[in-house]
A and B are shown apart, each in its own frame.
Chain A
Amino acid sequence: MGLEWYLGLSALLFTVGVVGVLIRRNAIIIFMCIELMLNAANLAFVAISRELGDPSGQVFVFFVMTVAAAEVAIGLAIIVSVFKHRETVNVDEVDSLKG
């Protein structure tokens, strides 16, 4: 299969992620959609790396996975600390900062 198919799938995943962030209101779901965006980029890296026969793209994916794991650890902790105050993770109801 050609590179276009992989890039097409990755663009589709990325779009699903972006649309999800914009329309979903639950912080955890938004966070999952962001992970989807990162994984779309990973898919593109791996596909391009295979096409070019250049391993650096696959190395990049390892770094991205590490970063994503760190982001989840920190992100969930922060969302839990918000939940302790508000008993909700709906981003529309978390609104004490306004101007």
Chain B
Amino acid sequence: MTVPVINWHMLMPELVIVLTFVIVMVFDLFKSIRKSVLAWVTIVGSAIALWASVEMLHAGVIGNEFNGMLRVDRFSMFFNIIFLVSTILVTLISINYLDRNDKRQGEYYVLILLATLGMMLMASGNELIVVFLGLELMSLSLYVLAGYFRSIQVSSEAGMKYLLLGAFASGFFLYGIALIYGGAGTTSIPEIASELEAGGKSPLMLAGMFLLIVGFGFKVALVPFHQWAPDVYEGAPTPIAAFISAGPKAAGFAAFLRIFTGALESLQPEWIVVVVILAALTMTVGNVIATAQSNIKRMLAYSSVAHAGYVLVGLAAANKDGISSAMLYLFIYCVMNIGAFAAVILARTEDGENLRIADYAGLGFRKPLLALFMTIMLLSLAGFPPTAGFVGKFYVFRSAVDAGHTWLVVVAAINTAISAFYYLRVVVTMYMKEPEEELDFHAYPSLLVFALLLVTIGVVLIGVLPSYFLAPAQISTQFF
């Protein structure tokens, strides 16, 4: 028997995350170590993994590891960067959010790291088994995190709703894999592609493909599979809501891209139609319902549903331009959405968080810094220049027009106008309305302000120097 050769250095980011996860678990056992140290270990570990991913992206490392189970290339590195940036930001905003005396913080950070590892496996999985295991590792950790405050009724309820619908979606996803295995006789992504090219389309493959789309649709909250999103975002702890809206969505799209442009490329005419319809539905329903929300977390939930629709517009183009602009959009979306949730955490009073939009009245002058951060994030989400949101939307729409989906871009543009209404409504409430009652807001936690400052710099930087961020996305799509 021969021992397979494994190039461990190719798996650097994953290994660093596993090591960090072990260190956090062990440190958690010592009573003498302050719990905030665990958060810093998480941040440092993720930062090292981030650095490794950036280096590997620059170097252009390419390889198949574990007998072709994992594919390490620029594409997976680009997504690793998205996940790790999200993890670092979410950990930063969690430190002040969790109670200093909370004894269970170890679990919290361990689960965040495990979810990150699951996402990384999804992005680099070259075999449907690995993608499924990564998906489950991520989802199972997130179910627990959504219900983390088990003494609070809404939190455990959010956990249960996420669990039931997430597991339901996994069932569809798995059955889709089973049918594709039946149709192609293999679960390896490159082999499925060559099998399809040689053999043509069997009904089993088509049925499997649609089941996979349903599974992905649930995971990234596309209309009509989005019903869980607002409830889960509202009930989950706010940093976790930010995390669920960012990383897992990017991971879902990463695996979607790998499978649909890698394995099922020959079925492109069939799945493009579905993607175009889902994109139009997701944008329109998400934005229209968001205008009717009075709770800011629910509004952000519907807005994140709509943003998944914009990413789909890029995927509908299904060429190098479309995919790289969708990847850039995902990166921008993750950063600005975590920023928006962080601004929500910043607006805290004695009785917890202030989630009614009406409570934000008059904040513009009473809490200028908070209102400024919130305004920048919302303007970016709405897509105003010179923020990152504008850049992301511009590239996505342009690639879709180039690919001939003009009417889809018209729908997207109308949707952007609708979304400006509800984002700007919050800004108007903050600056132009007088508060009904004086609310006693907490002092700014320094780490939260630091995280928001980072996000703001990022959002403006991408907005001003977009090509610096688009270029890595473009070279990452070379394998398609």
Q: How far is the CA of A75 from the CA of B133 in the complex (A)?
A: 17
B178 at the interface (CB under 8 A from A): yes
Q: Number of A residues contacting the other chain (C-beta, 8 Å)? A: 44
Q: How far is the CA of A61 from the CA of B185 in the complex (A)?
A: 15
Known A78-B156, A85-B156, A99-B295; judge A21-B168 contact (CB<8 A): yes
Q: List, in ascending order, chain B residues with CB within 8 A of A54's CB.
A: 185-186
Considering the complex, which residues of chain A in the window 58-72 have a beta carbon less than 8 Å from any beta carbon of chain B?
Answer: 59-60, 63-64, 67, 70-71
Q: Judging by beta carbons under 8 Å apart, are A63 and B158 in contact? A: no
B454 at the interface (CB under 8 A from A): no
0/1 string, A69-99, CB within 8 A of B gives 1 = 0110011001101101110000100101111
Q: How far is the CA of A44 from the CA of B211 in the complex (A)?
A: 14
Considering the complex, which residues of chain B in the window 152-185 have a beta carbon less than 8 Å from any beta carbon of chain A?
Answer: 153-154, 156-161, 163-164, 167-168, 170-172, 174-175, 177-179, 181-182, 185
Q: How far is the CA of A84 from the CA of B151 in the complex (A)?
A: 9
Q: Interface of chain A, helix or strand or loop or mixed? A: helix
Q: How far is the CA of A40 from the CA of B171 in the complex (A)?
A: 9
Chain A residue at minimal CB-CB distance from B130:
A63
B293 at the interface (CB under 8 A from A): yes
B136 at the interface (CB under 8 A from A): yes
**Cβ 8 A contact of B174, one of A38, A75, A78, A82:** A38
CB distance from B65 to the nearest CB of A (A): 17
Chain B residue at minimal CB-CB distance from A3:
B182
Known A37-B175, A60-B129, A67-B133; judge A78-B181 contact (CB<8 A): no
Residues of A participating in the B interface, judged by any CB pair closer than 8 Å: 3, 7, 10, 14, 17-18, 21, 27, 30-31, 34, 37-38, 40-41, 44-45, 48, 52, 54, 56-57, 59-60, 63-64, 67, 70-71, 74-75, 78-79, 81-82, 84-86, 91, 94, 96-99
Pull 17 A–B residue pairs with CB atoms less than 8 Å apart, ordered by A.
A27-B160, A31-B164, A34-B171, A37-B174, A37-B175, A44-B175, A44-B182, A48-B181, A60-B129, A70-B140, A78-B144, A78-B156, A81-B147, A81-B150, A96-B153, A97-B230, A97-B235
